[in-house]
Chain A
Amino acid sequence: MSTASVASSARAPITHDSLPAWGPWAVVGGVLLAAVALGSATEVALGVLLLLGVVLSVGVVYVWSRAVEGSRRAKDRSVTIAVTASFLLAIAPLVSVLYTVLSRGLARFDAPFFTETARNVVGEGGGASHAIVGTLVITGVATLASVPIGIMAAIYLHEYGSGRLKKALTFFVDVMTGIPSIVAGLFAVALFVLFFGPGIRLGVMGAVALSVLMIPIVVRSTEEMLKIVPDGLREASYALGVPKWRTIVKVVLPTALAGIITGVMVAVARVIGETAPLLITTGVFSSMNSNPFDGRMSNLPVFAFNQYKFPGAIPEPYIDRAWAAALTLIVIVMTLSLAARLIYRRFGTDIR
């Protein structure tokens, strides 16, 4: 077989016709506009129409593109539209939640909300400063407890552990990642009841419950970060005659630090909004209490829950406070995530 014959007979030309750049967009836009129009004219739900519109435009673009450009590009274009649509579908709830929380939470997102407590407040006014402090203290204590335990457990699992013990521990960490949060709360209650008798409510009980939830997340994320520290760095350190524990402390941990911090932030964000375990461990309290070892302690999720669940005669101020508390939680989580990002940017290490 000669190359000439291949080129003249079988080879497709390397130039081809193509749809105009605006083509697919025009199809999608047109179909969706039609769907919106149809939705306002009839009783059919807009979401269903939009979904059908996406399916329809995928079909139209495929047929059109196939006629002009051939089947390979037609598939490419229709899959592009389908994937983009799926992405939009996935973030739609997120946008919706953010929008709702913002629009409804801003009503009471004012100075008194951050300075006053809910003590003796009936109807309008009052604030959630006690709950904010409570959330920060409880989460802070939980973090202080779970980060060292989690990181050291991860170091054990990745750097030292081997054989059955490691497998068993990994299994239990996985199981712990999946336990329902109420179980963690019940565990904390059961633990403290053992020592202090029934009816005990303490901030630190909430912290213990949250720790139970946090530790497996910290272990997992830290382990993942330790995994991506290249073995080459450990070997380089060993080859310099550095003992193992020093290698871990001085080389491995600093290299993984940014990632570990991010993991901790994720864990904090995961537990800071927990309601159920706090409801049964910290109790409901409307005054300022910043001592986790002294009686009941309020916090934002429980505060929001309570405001929503037990409104007064005029429910609006209560409902507004609940939304404002939800917004505050989101702001705290976002601030933490942002801080984590900044830390990563500032101290982050490129791990090859």
Chain B
Amino acid sequence: MMSPMTEPRRHFQQQLSELEASALGGLDLVLGQLDRALEALEHQDVELAQFVIADDDRLDGRYLEVHQGILSLLALQSPVAGDLRLVAALLHLIKHVERMGDQCVNIAKLIPLTGHEPPVREEILKKIVQMGRSARAEVVQCKRAFADRDVAMAEDLIARDRDVNLLNREIFRMAVEVGDDLDTREWAMTMILVARALERVGDNAVDIGEQTAFVVTGLFREFSDASNSGQR
């Protein structure tokens, strides 16, 4: 009766793993959006920024698709135990995916505001690019942690996020001290908003890490000080 070949809910298991793949695929879309938003920022490429904004529809579409899939699984298959936790976590995960996408759009929308030839301070831009890379690494890591159900890797996200938060504060301080030039100050203020968007992306990645731990252990706990350190 316990022979491994009998798996009475094979169809359901397949649906569930397809749903997970689809939701985690959303993180790949986020990575693409993030890369292009950062590139547009670096090169003041307004056209590329427009693409980022337009492509957010794909992420929103993915959100609706996964959400619908989760609803039908709940309605038709009554998942329990580990399956139930996975379904619940996916519901969270896809929402975080959608929010990360929105942050990329926020960054893209800020690019045209700074004008055609903004007074760029290289040291601030360098920090922004560094922060973008860190946030990107967090997204990659949270995806792998979730897919592998790797709690240790998920918990490691806190350390990564701490770096991002530190960069965020640093950029804030540098922007405040940027000087009296009005245009430069306006550009620097915009960079604060970009940094904040990147910081939010990192927070969402940590949240996905929390969901990973929930799927594995069944216990939900907020990862240490991830959410209250840094500016919110």
Q: Touch between A and B in complex, CB under 8 Å?
A: no
Using a CB–CB cutoff of 8 Å, the interface residues on chain A facing chain B are none
Chain B positions within 8 Å of A, measured between CB atoms, are none
